[in-house]
Amino acid sequence: MQMTRRDLFALAAGLAAAGLIRMPAHADEAKVEAAIKEFAGGMPETGGVELGAPEIAENGNTVPIEVAAAGATSIMILAAGNPNPGVGTFHFTAMSAESRASTRIRLAQTQDVVAVAKMADGSTKMARREVKVTIGGCGG
Amino acid sequence: MAKIKPRVKVPGKATAGEAVTIKTLISHPMESGQRKDRKTGELIPRKIINKFVATYNGETAFSMDLEPAISANPYIEFSVKLAESGTMRFEWTDDDGSVYDIEKKIEVA
């Protein structure tokens, strides 16, 4: 089959459209990775961090989140699908009964929430979890 | 703007070495800097609490860095174990430099 100029244009338009539709889902993945690396100094292994979040959040303006990691000195929370991935970082001390904390966060859309824990010995751990959001936070 | 009011839930008495749960809440809009004014279409400038610190008898017990993605009226829950009676001081730092604080006494037996 011979490719005409018209076919080529149609193909290019199709590819562009497909690309545009897929883009918003994880537009900030590079930003997320950069934030993780800046905090952990590399990509941490998955596991060893407890990340409690609802499976479905009706209101993205206030989503309850709980994180815990035995022996962690600090835990950072990221939201992969927000305009900026940073959410907050907890710092634990010798006075902490355990390295566990809760807060409420904003999620703009259905997305992954990431928790990165830094341990006393310098190692790092990570957990990732999807939260479905019915009505997005931010904006308005 | 409504007055910014911190609230904390701390048990008045605790047993030495046992976990004590501390719950804190502060009324604050946590303006993200992403929102637009509906009338003028201009961005509302960011104004959030960016730092929370809890100290016990002058020593840091817990702290948190906050970003605009923390919900309005930030709620923070954590736990501590205490060795002696004392005062826990809570401080929230605003983008504009203001510090909101509250203190609670804890009797440890």
Q: Residue A3 falls within a domain, yes or no?
A: no
A89 reaches B (C-beta below 8 A): yes
Q: What pLDDT, in 10s, does the model give residues B60-88? A: 999 999 999 999 999 999 999 999 999 99
ipTM: 0.94
For the stretch A81-105, pLDDT in tens is: 999 999 999 999 999 999 999 999 9
Considering the domain boundaries, does residue A140 fall inside one?
no
Distance CA B17, CA A112 (A): 37
Place of tokens 């590079």: A30
Does residue A98 lie within any of the structural domains?
yes
Q: Which one of B65, B87, B91, B92 would you mutate to disrupt binding with A, by most A Cβ within 10 Å of its Cβ?
A: B65
CA distance A90 to B18: 21
Which two tokens mark A120?
Answer: 């006393």
Is the residue at A11 inside a domain? no
Q: Do B80 and A96 touch (CB under 8 A)?
A: yes
A54 is a domain residue: yes
Contacts of A105 in chain B (CB under 8 A): 69-71
Q: Examine residue A55 and state whether it is found in any structural domain, yes or no.
A: yes
Integer Cα distance of A84 and A103 in angstroms: 18
Q: Using alpha carbons only, what angle is made at residue A19 by residues A18 and A22, rounded to the nearest 5 degrees?
A: 85
Q: Which domain holds residue A45?
A: 24-133
Note whether B66 contacts A140, CB cutoff 8 Å: no
* For testing contact with chain A, the best of B20, B22, B78 (most A CBs within 10 A): B78
pTM for the whole structure = 0.86
Angle at A19 between CA A16 and CA A25, to 5 degrees: 155
Two tokens at A101? Answer: 């904390």
- pLDDT, tens digit, 9 for 90 and up, residues B38-51: 899 899 999 999 99
Which regions of A4-140 does DSSP assign to beta strands (E)?
45-46, 50-52, 56-59, 63-68, 72-79, 86-92, 96-105, 111-119, 124-135
CATH number for position A54: 2.60.40.2470
Contact B94, B66 (CB under 8 A): no
Tokens of B79: 């736990």
Domain-embedded: residue A81 = yes
Number of domains in chain A: 1
